[in-house]
Amino acid sequence: MLVLQNISYTHPNKNLLFDNINLTVRNHDKIALIGNNGSGKSTLLKLIANELQPLGGQLIVETEPYFVPQIFGQYNHLTIGQALKVENKLNALQEIISGKVSEENFTTLDDDWTIEERCNEALRHWQLTNLNLSQKMETLSGGQKTKVFLAGISIHQPELVLLDEPSNHLDIAGRQLLYDFIQSTQGTLILVSHDRKLLNLLGKVAELSKRGITIYGGNYDFYTEQKQIENNALNQDLQSKEKALRKAKEKERETLERKQKLDSQGKGKQEKAGVARIMMNTIRNSAENSTSKMKGVHAEKIGGIKEELQELRSALPDIDKMKFGFDNSALHKGKILFKADEINYSYSNQPLWKDNLSFQITSGERFVLKGLNGSGKTTLIKIILGQLETQTGTVYRADNKAVYIDQDYSLIDNQLKVYEQAQQFNVSSLQEHEIKIRLNRFLFTKDDWDKPCSALSGGEKMRLILCCLTISNQSPDIIILDEPTNNLDIQNIEMLTTAINGYQGTLIVVSHDETFLEETKIEQTIQL
């Protein structure tokens, strides 16, 4: 079906992305392609889809792949029919039905007499019945654009499907349709995603890293178990190597001390025996050469162990490094922070919610805010933050400090550099070295401190926001996360989860990532 042999790719700026990638995909394989942000997952899918060309190697694809991309802006100028590559066939079918039975129309249709029926059925299945194939893609939401391309799978019925983060913009109902498709399809799939529920529906995991592609013959849970075993073995190797280094240094010290002692004793005997000065100099030079050679042997051995240690340490996971360092002393458990009584909000005199909302938010609780796209989640967040006032009902807001982390990471100023951004949150006058220690804890090394924030990925921006919150030190009463896992790879999601679980204040999350909600111990639901 698909074979990648020694595939290499460089960015347009000539930086090497990956080298000598090998992968074999057989018919009916369902493969999860995972790896950290920047490892080249999306690029690899585009190479397979023939949207990019490799620098070297051979790519053998027996069938034309169907590609569901992650980003859709490049299609905004097209109609839905054009984006799905069905417009010409549909036009030819309509002309034949209306009596224009030209050879050109028959050639374009290519005996695909069910094309219109398949299009309508596919759009209906993906809950897009209100869309017209002549409608421009730019008029659609992110979730609708994703569903359009997913509908294209039913329309074209390809043997090989490539999916790049297909659940990113889907609501719960859309995700369930996607999960059902993944489970039921007999086609061959290669899927990039950070949705761990989705990843668990695939039978193989292909991990893309600097070492190439490693295949794990099971779903994502199986992969994490195997990685844990590997990490345990890595830690044992690390401890063993550290012990070997201590022994090598001790051996070097003992050997040199013994040599010096023997040389000193030999010199004393020679002086008593009246050995000539010229002979004494020769003996001393020989002893010094012998000592120097011995030091070189030990230095080479110790250097080799240190190099192996460095390789082992660089392979260790970073997840435990990121922790909030909040002063939680000002948080009071059980305090009412927000209370809504029969509230509603109207756009163009139309109430946003069918039923008025009544609920309260108490300090220390964890909520998930659920609802379909367009159900008013962002509006409710603005009401909670005091940025909007309701037209119906009453609201109580206690004086509180709230932090809202939206999908665009608006807390980050793209005009600033990483260190400058961190300094913006330095309200407690931390010293420069203290800020840099915190940046290091959130995986921003000295090579990153002068990097412009505009150059950061979504995962890096999320990490920087979390780091900035720790620099401000005082714990906010409320943290609101709006689809926090959408632009993060799995490693960064796990880091975010670890950091959030160290926070003792009130958490409000908008998310369709069920695994994230479960792991952050969400207790209550506000359903819109």
- Three-class secondary structure assignment of 374-423: CCCHHHHHHHHHCCCCCCEEEEEECCCCEEEECCCCCCCCCCCEHHHHHH
pLDDT at 460: 83
pLDDT at 491: 79
pLDDT at 282: 62
Contact 389, 383 (CB under 8 A): yes
- Strands 357-362 and 506-510 turn out to be unpaired
**408 CB-contact burial (10 Å; exposed 0-12 / middle 13-18 / buried 19+):** exposed
pLDDT single digits (tens) 191-234: 999 888 999 999 999 999 888 999 999 999 999 888 888 777 77
In this structure, what DSSP letter does residue 474 have?
A: B
Q: 431-460 burial by CB neighbour count: b if 16+ within 10 A, else e?
A: eeeebbebbebbbbeeebbeeebeebebbb
In this structure, what DSSP letter does residue 200 have?
A: T
- Which helix (DSSP H) or strand (DSSP E) does residue 267 occupy? helix 220-272
pLDDT at 263: 62
pTM score, whole prediction: 0.68
Tokens representing 294 are 């011995």
pLDDT at 228: 80
pLDDT single digits (tens) 87-101: 999 998 988 888 888
Tokens representing 350 are 């139309």
* Counts of helices then strands in the chain (DSSP H, E): 16, 19
Taken in order 165, 166, 170, 176, the sign of the CA dihedral is negative
Please tell me the distance from the alpha carbon of residue 401 to that of residue 315, in angstroms, as a whole number: 39
- Strands 357-362 and 350-351 turn out to be unpaired
Low-confidence ranges of the chain (pLDDT < 50): 320
pLDDT at 523: 84
Phi-psi region of 20 (alpha: psi -120 to 50; beta: other; left: phi over 0): left
Taken in order 125, 127, 132, 136, the sign of the CA dihedral is negative
pLDDT at 5: 94
pLDDT at 125: 95
pLDDT at 190: 96
pLDDT at 204: 95
Nearest Cα neighbor of 384 from 376, 371, 394, 395 is 395
Please tell me the distance from the alpha carbon of residue 504 to that of residue 523, in angstroms, as a whole number: 14
Please tell me the distance from the alpha carbon of residue 351 to that of residue 370, in angstroms, as a whole number: 18
pLDDT at 36: 80
pLDDT at 383: 92
The letter for the amino acid at 108 is: T
The Cβ of residue 361 has, within 10 Å, a number of other Cβ atoms equal to 22
pLDDT at 278: 61
Cα torsion through 291, 295, 298, 301, rounded to 10: -140
Polymer length of the chain: 528
Between the CA of residue 475 and those of 250, 441, 478, 505, 507, what are the distances in Å? 47, 18, 9, 7, 12
**356 CB-contact burial (10 Å; exposed 0-12 / middle 13-18 / buried 19+):** middle
Q: 108-132 burial by CB neighbour count: b if 16+ within 10 A, else e?
A: bbeeeeebbebbeebbebbbbeebe
pLDDT at 279: 58
In this structure, what DSSP letter does residue 476 have?
A: P
Nearest Cα neighbor of 342 from 411, 270, 289, 391 is 391
